[in-house]
Amino acid sequence: MAFTLTRIFDRAQTDQGSFEEFEKLMRQTQKQAFSLAYRLTGNVSEAEDLVQDAYIRAFRFFYRYDRSMPFSSWLFRIVTNAHIDAVRRKCKLRTSSLDQGGDDGSKTIEVMDSSALPDALIAERDVNEDLQKGLDSMNQEFKMAVILADVEGMAYEEIAEVMNTSIGTVRSRIHRGRKHLKAHLLSTAPALYERYCDELL
């Protein structure tokens, strides 16, 4: 009983003491967290929501954070778990508002006008769209492994820690994920693939 009381008291104290440390770590990692969240969700507003959710969870369980491992690995694990939860929630609640429909039951959806953007921005957006479609067509585990390796540039050992699996499994997931993505890009956006091929050579 005394142990429980001490633990609760420590948590109440820790919330006060470690907030500054948490804020500092948050400032250092939020860009990385956002890029990971963006690649996972494929949408800026959803990525922002995911990042907020992940940081709130991280702060709530900050007293459990093991200082011997990098904060980013711990945070990415939270981001990926929060994303899995969000995907599950979304599968359950796939709703659409009928308020925006017309009298005849038709519905209008706002779409960005590509012609209003500069060429460079259009090209970049196309790459992002094609890449995102390729990533979204992948199995969640392959997608996460590829994103952590190629977007975040993490080592396989760190990825294994984040995904709670072995290095061998990570190696296999990354390889199969890349092959799937290559096949997808070659079939849906061969021009883009060729462009990158030329750039590399």
d(CA 112, CA 109): 10
Site string for another protein, 48-77 (x = CB under 8 A): x--xx--xx--xx-----------------
d(CA 171, CA 145): 9
Q: In a 3-state reduction of DSSP, which class is residue 87?
A: helix
Which amino acid would we find at residue 175?
H
d(CA 54, CA 14): 19
**182 is a contact residue toward another protein (CB under 8 A):** yes
R_g over Cα of the chain: 21
**92 is a contact residue toward another protein (CB under 8 A):** no
**46 is a contact residue toward another protein (CB under 8 A):** no
Between 69 and 183, CB nearer to another protein: 183
List the Cα angle 138/142/147 in 5-degree steps.
95
Could you list the residues that contact another protein (CB under 8 A)? 1, 4-5, 8-9, 11-12, 15-16, 19, 22-23, 26-27, 30, 34-35, 38-39, 44-45, 47-48, 51-52, 55-56, 59-60, 124, 127-128, 131, 146-147, 149-151, 153, 155-156, 167, 171-172, 174-175, 178-179, 181-182, 185, 192-193, 196-197, 199-200
